[in-house]
Amino acid sequence: EPLERGFGHTLGNALRRILLSSMPGCAVTEVEIDGVLHEYSTKEGVQEDILEILLNLKGLAVKVEGKDEVILTLNKSGAGPVVAGDITHDGDVEIANPEHVICHITDDNAELSMRIKVERGRGYVPASARIHTEEDERPIGRLLVDATFSPVDRISYAVEAARVEQRT
């Protein structure tokens, strides 16, 4: 049975907003890179600056089973791209986009080592909202990342006209 006239957009938009903002998921929340003290610095032998690496890590699609937070490690040396598939993790973690490029190492002798904290949550939590709650115990060099926990990136809906007997 079709909906009454005008209810299609009301229901479709409500479902869209719920899927975008209220679905629980996992996201990168903190990153610690060896030899880096703040996000405005650079890493010797790496093409991208630290801010660009953090933005690339935000695009990491991670699924964690049974835990609310997990620490992933990434150790890479030698020239070439660093991709999400290079991250070492245990069996409870699945990286949905292993081909996602994090950065490029340009020097054969360069090394990149980082620890990535992934947490479970819902909605969007900016890094600035977590600075005040964690400032006392957060060591120098641990970089906070804005977290979009929703597993849904985009969603659209369409309302079609339906004809029931003589009504439209």
CATH architecture of 7-148: Beta Complex (2.170)
Q: With left for phi above 0 and alpha for psi between -120 and 50, is residue 132 left, alpha or beta? A: alpha
- Summarize pLDDT for 1-48 with one digit per residue, the tens: 788 888 999 999 999 999 888 899 999 999 999 998 888 989 999 999
pLDDT band at 59 (very low <50, low <70, confident <90, very high): very high
Extract the tokens encoding 162: 């339906």
Chain centroid offset of residue 122 CA:
12
Q: What is the pTM (predicted TM-score) of this model?
A: 0.83
Q: Give the residue extent of every domain in the chain.
A: 7-148
- Provide, rounded to the nearest whole percent, the portion of the chain with pLDDT above 90: 62
Q: In one letter, which amino acid is 92?
A: D
Kindly indicate the confidence band of residue 144, based on its pLDDT and cuts at 50, 70 and 90.
Answer: very high
Q: How far is CA 83 from the centre of its chain?
A: 14
Residue with tokens 């900016």: 126
Cα 161 to its chain centre, rounded Å, is 37
